[in-house]
Amino acid sequence: MKNYKFKVLLFIDIFFLSIFIFYKFYLYFLEDTYVAINIKNVAKIEKVKAHNVNFAVIGNIKNSISIFEKKIIPLLNKENLDFIVSLGNAVVSSGEDKFRLLYKSIKLLNPPLLNVIGVNECTMGNISNYYRHFGPLLFSFVKNDNLFLFLDTTGTTTPLYVKKWIYDELKDNNFRKNKFIFMNKPLYKPENISFPIDVEDYILEDENFRSYLIDLFSQFKVSAVFASNLGLYDERTIKGVKYYISGGAGGFILDEDDNYYHYIKVSINEDGQFNINKINIAYKYTSYFIRQIENLWFQIHSLFYVGFINFFIIISILFIIGIYFYYKINDDVEYYQDYSFNYDQLDIYRPLNIAMFTNNYFPFIGGVPVAIYRLAKGLKKLGENPIIFAPLFKGKYTDEKDIEVIRLNSIGYYKKFHNIPIVNIFAPRIRKIFENKNIQIVHVHHPFWMGKKGLRLAKIYNCPLVLTYHTRLEKYAHYVPINSRIFKNILSHFIIKKFGEQCDLIIAPTLAAKDYLRNIGIRTQIEVIPTGIDFDLYRNINESDILHLNNKYRSNERKFILITVSRLSKEKNLYFLIDGIAYLKKIMKTPFTLLIIGDGEERKSIENYVNLKDLKGDVVFLGAVDPSELCKYYKFSDIFVFASTTETQGLVLLEAMAGENPVVAVRSSGIDDIIINEYNGYKTSENINDWALKIKFILENSSLHNELSKNAYKYSKKYTLESIAEKVAKLYAKLIYDKEKNI
């Protein structure tokens, strides 16, 4: 049904886009265009012989449909006019689309039109369209011994040239009966404007240039000067010359009660006498709503004139918007658990064949491999069939016999990050194995590389896709070979969001991780499920193992054992931890030992830092320890300390609690949900004093330590490997059920 709706929507989208494209070609190739219209119309005007000269002056057309086309043009066509002068701003901007729209209006006029260059005709310094469609920026002609001069006051033509040109024209034609000047920007400030605008922005800026022109017009006894650029009407006499501002042929009228939309009619008899009349347009009572509809049509219509590249961009955007809204409308996202679903249907799908894709796995020691193994082990106990697709590492190692691991050849190694093999995801073997295993669920553990491979196979074979959000990618920017700030602040979040939106389900280990995924805009269903703890390992601990560790690391002198487990890398905040231990040594009466379990590229630097802080003997580096052996260290130590702020769940904290360890950690997104202050430990600010004092407080209060230890163990019991695996298996079953229901 969804596919059918999609095809219908796609057909409708293509149908309308085809109409748009056809209309576009019609406008460009079949509709008339125009060039040098001022030059052509001057020739027409000069050719016609008449005793009298009648012309109209209009300003600020601004591609107006409702005012200019509907109201003013019919009136102008009824007048006995030889020509019409537009004082500039005939378009709303200098784009080709606006000039073509203007030409559609001009074609409705009976008299020829001459257009002065205005501010709108040269927006962003673009005068090419004006020059092509209308001609030179300065021009003149004579009709019945009357001189008509057209100036450029936009600043496009240098004032020095304008001064010389206008002086020569007036000097050579000083004997004419009348001399009329047309320009866009006025030479003076109109008075009594109630509308709040800065008039200085609309008149000719250069005060010296203004003064020069006013004096020149007075010197040569110019008959009248017409300007626009302001949506109003104004007239006055300056030094014996009549000046008019006419901006009422479209656009927005300033102080409408006094000005109205209008045009000016000028009549010159054969003796050279002339009359100037303002013709008001009774439009201000027209419906505001109708004007907005007409202006909206102008905006839509103008889109069809834009350049071809821009046009196809618009078409593409329309198409994308159509697809987006299709999925928005039809892609039902269930944010709440469906309580009507009977999870007993899980038996229908057993055993589930689950393909897990990961960029790293054992023998690499880290939180992700541990989490994957434990989930797979728990699922196996439930009777499911998890299959892990993982890199093939150098050297000899043995995979766990109870879990099937498909080792994949690499195309290289990422040396910057622990020499991790980079799987050849293009190998046909992966798809062949996937198909032969009859996979029903794809569960990926990274939003890139092997995660992408899992995504593609899930789409090909129509399997539900699950992502576990393990890693805060932005905290690993220093491993990226490109600009780390771009990756940290933009790319990392983009990668997770784009991938997450393509999943059927995302598993977040904590509420804080879920909040992050929602905050970056992921709409996919998100379930909070942490990694389970393998309590079998704790139950199999021998007392002799604990005794051995006590004899090795604990003594009467060094009564307390602190422990931390972490990869030794920059993002784990270990230098802060060492500073905190150095401060703790100063304030503690009883000596202690910190055991650091883990390895990494920063080990040498951290060891040097320990020596620099005079902690040699107080801090012991144990290197990498097999995950199955870690529980012994948790069991014999007194307190687990942690400083990393990059965790998504802090798995080692739960493991430490399972070993009856209270925890003191720096508060962060992966820590906040696990530690309950004064119950199973303390979460502190990233402050050395605060962090160290909480450790001291626990160690020096044996009753508090005992209570926190018991509570920590009790809290960890909620996260057994079996209970976590059962939650995930039920979600798998629901995803398969939904997928089959929607086929």
pLDDT confidence of residue 84:
97
Mean pLDDT of 222-239: 94
Give the Cα separation of 619 and 610 in Å (integer).
7
Averaged pLDDT score across all residues of the chain: 86
**Position with higher pLDDT, 270 vs 671:** 270
Please, which residues have CB within 8 angstroms of residue 518's CB and are 6 or more apart in sequence? 526
Give percent above pLDDT 70 in the chain.
Answer: 82
Q: Give the per-residue pLDDT at 318.
A: 74
Say whether pLDDT at 513 is over 70.
yes
pTM of the complete model beyond 0.75: no
Instruction: Please tell me what DSSP assigns to residue 540.
Output: T
Burial (0-12, 13-18, 19+ Cβ within 10 Å), 25: exposed
Going by pLDDT thresholds of 50, 70 and 90, the confidence category of residue 313 is low
What domains lie within the chain, and their CATH numbers?
33-286 (3.60.21.10), 348-528 (3.40.50.2000), 535-719 (3.40.50.2000)
Model confidence pLDDT, tens digit, residues 729-741:
999 999 998 887 7
Asked which of 23-27, 111-115, 352-356, 722-726 is least confident by mean pLDDT, the reply is 23-27
Lowest mean pLDDT, pick from 299-303, 395-399, 723-727: 299-303
376-405 confidence digits (pLDDT tens): 999 999 999 999 999 998 876 666 678 999
Higher model confidence: residue 25 or residue 163? 163
* pLDDT value for 191: 80
| 189-203, 303-317, 669-683, 714-728: range with lowest mean pLDDT | 303-317
Closest of 681, 336, 718, 333 to residue 529, by C-alpha: 718
pLDDT band at 477 (very low <50, low <70, confident <90, very high): very low
Tell me: the pLDDT tens digits for 203-220? 999 999 999 999 999 999
pLDDT, residue 297, reads 61
Q: Which of 652, 706, 708 is nearest to 680 (CA)?
A: 708
pLDDT at 559: 84
- pLDDT score recorded for residue 379: 94
pLDDT of the residue at 302: 52
Q: Lowest mean pLDDT: which of 230-244, 466-480, 544-558?
A: 466-480
Residue 664 has pLDDT above 70, yes or no: yes
Q: 194: which 2 tokens? A: 């109630």
Provide mean pLDDT across the span 94-99.
82
The angle at the Cα of 91, spanning 87 to 92, to the nearest 5 degrees, equals: 120
Q: Distance between CA atoms of 72 and 76, rounded to whole angstroms? A: 6
Contact 180, 268 (CB under 8 A): no
Give the pLDDT band of residue 59 (cuts 50, 70, 90). very high
- pLDDT attached to residue 283: 59
Q: Residue 285's pLDDT is what?
A: 46
Rounded Cα gap, residues 524 and 332, in angstroms: 10
CA 32, 37, 39, 44 torsion: positive or negative? positive
pLDDT > 50? residue 510: yes
- 225 pLDDT more than 70: yes
What pLDDT, on the 0 to 100 scale, is given for residue 478? Answer: 47
Report the relative pairing of strands 410-414 and 420-423 from DSSP bridges. antiparallel
Give the C-alpha separation, 719 to 721, whole Å.
6
Mean pLDDT of the 101-130 span: 92
pLDDT at 737: 85
Lowest mean pLDDT among 474-483, 501-510, 537-546, 575-584: 474-483
- Span 440-460, mean pLDDT? 95
In which band, very low, low, confident or very high, does the pLDDT at 702 lie, cut at 50, 70 and 90?
very high
Q: Judge whether residue 263 has pLDDT over 60.
A: yes
For the segment 259-288, the average pLDDT, to the nearest whole number, is 83
pLDDT-derived band at 341, boundaries 50, 70, 90 = low
User: Are the C-beta atoms of residues 469 and 507 closer than 8 Å to each other?
Assistant: yes
pLDDT digits (tens, 9 = 90+) for 130-154: 999 999 999 999 999 999 999 999 9
pLDDT of residue 23: 65
Task: Check if the beta carbon of residue 545 is closer than 8 Å to that of residue 579.
Answer: no
pLDDT at residue 31 greater than cutoff 60: no
pLDDT confidence band for 309 (50 / 70 / 90) = very low
Using the predicted structure, report yes or no on whether residue 298 has a pLDDT greater than 90. no
Give Cα separations from 521 to 455, 501, 513, 516 (angstroms): 20, 9, 13, 9
Q: Which residues contact 504 (CB under 8 A, 6 or more apart)?
A: 464, 465, 466, 524, 525, 735, 738, 739
CA-to-CA distance for 172 and 220, rounded, in angstroms?
A: 11
Contact 637, 560 (CB under 8 A): no
Is residue 33 within 8 Å of residue 102, measured between CB atoms? Answer: no
Judge whether residue 40 has pLDDT over 60.
yes
pLDDT tens for each residue of 612-637: 999 998 999 999 898 889 999 999 99
The pLDDT score that the predictor gives to residue 480 is 56
